[in-house]
Amino acid sequence: MGSIPDLPVPISLVSGHYFLFSVDIATYLRREHHICGALIGTLPQIPQQNVFLGLPLELMPEEARILVEKGVAYIADDVKIHEDGMQNLANQDRHRYLQSLEQEGRQAALAQASRKEQQREEALKKLERKNAAKPTEPLQNQGSALPQSSNEVEPEEQLFESSSQTPSSTLTPSRKSVAVEAAFGITPATSDGLFPKVPPPQPPTLPDVPPSYPLFAHLHSKGFFLSPGLRFGCQYLAYPGDPLRFHSHFLAISAEWDEEFDIMNLVAGGRLGTGVKKGFLIGGAESPDDTHIETSPDAVRTFSFEWAGM
């Protein structure tokens, strides 16, 4: 069981897009509330890479809306918070924040030094066991065998082997010597420690959502994981579980209750869904009252199609 962040969590609004910058919040929402989002962070030195992406996690407006309605999150204007925070930031707060980063850097340096020391000890023990397992040779043969045996020593062992030192006499850095080493530079992913947490606005700000939100809320209430469906020509892909474990079951498209559409769209959707081993699902809200629709996922009806050969 992972850690549970303080609720409600902030969703950063930047240029009309909704982002999460905390990995703990992202994993919590995925685990407990079936919110996947899309990772869009890239490495500065490899801007073209599109396989392994990282934070921030971008949310669809529908995902942000449903989290706000459930009281799990609130919308935070990222630009306004940072502008107000920098103007009201006192020198002592700035100094305390820099000290916390420096302390975190020292701890990271100490942890790395401890790992190196452990690796060194393991290498010395391995060398000692290997030397103990070698058969004893006559003294006259040791001189001729020394050049050949020295060439066969592994590079890892050559780093620690010495003509006058033994594993017991090897000096290891103490904790005090590690503490005086240069601390690592820490680049925080969020500004939580710098600015005070902004309380949620009352009443909560609801993100603007497309007309397909009733269908999204309905499927989400049934336990589905939803992701954008552009690559399959639909609005949402509906997964019965986490997309890392399951294939999607439905290509979901929203329609108004009295909307007229071409029957060939149903045929095309059914054939497309069957071709990729998924069902084609179309749904819409029964009530024409938008306010009633957005607060009641049960007021949505859905129909699924499967194209079968004759």
Structural domain boundaries in the chain: 1-89+197-205, 92-179, 210-310
97 a catalytic residue: no
The catalytically annotated residue of 218, 220, 249, 278 is: 278
Q: Which CATH number fits domain 1-89+197-205: 3.90.650.10, 3.40.1170.20, 3.30.420.40, 3.30.9.10?
A: 3.40.1170.20
Place of tokens 């929402």: 29
Task: Quote the pTM value.
Answer: 0.70
Q: How far apart are CA 237 and CA 142, in angstroms?
A: 72
Q: What is the mean pLDDT of residues 268-288?
A: 87
Same fold, 1-89+197-205 and 210-310: no
Q: Which two tokens stand for residue 35?
A: 């919110």
- Residue scoring higher pLDDT (273 or 151): 273
Mean pLDDT value across residues 70-80? 92
> Catalytic one among 197, 222, 247, 292?
247
Of 231, 226, 278, 270, nearest to 250 by C-alpha is 278
Mean pLDDT of 265-285: 90
pLDDT class of 181 with cuts at 50, 70, 90: low
Q: Provide mean pLDDT across the span 86-107.
A: 83
Q: What DSSP element (H or E) covers 9?
A: strand 9-14
What pLDDT shows up at residue 278? Answer: 92
Residue 278 designated active-site: yes
- The CATH number given to 210-310 is 3.40.1350.10
Measured from the Cβ of residue 37, the count of other Cβ atoms closer than 10 Å reads 20
Please report the pLDDT score of residue 210 as a whole number. Answer: 94
User: Is 90 exceeded by the pLDDT of residue 297?
Assistant: no
pLDDT at 197 over 60: yes
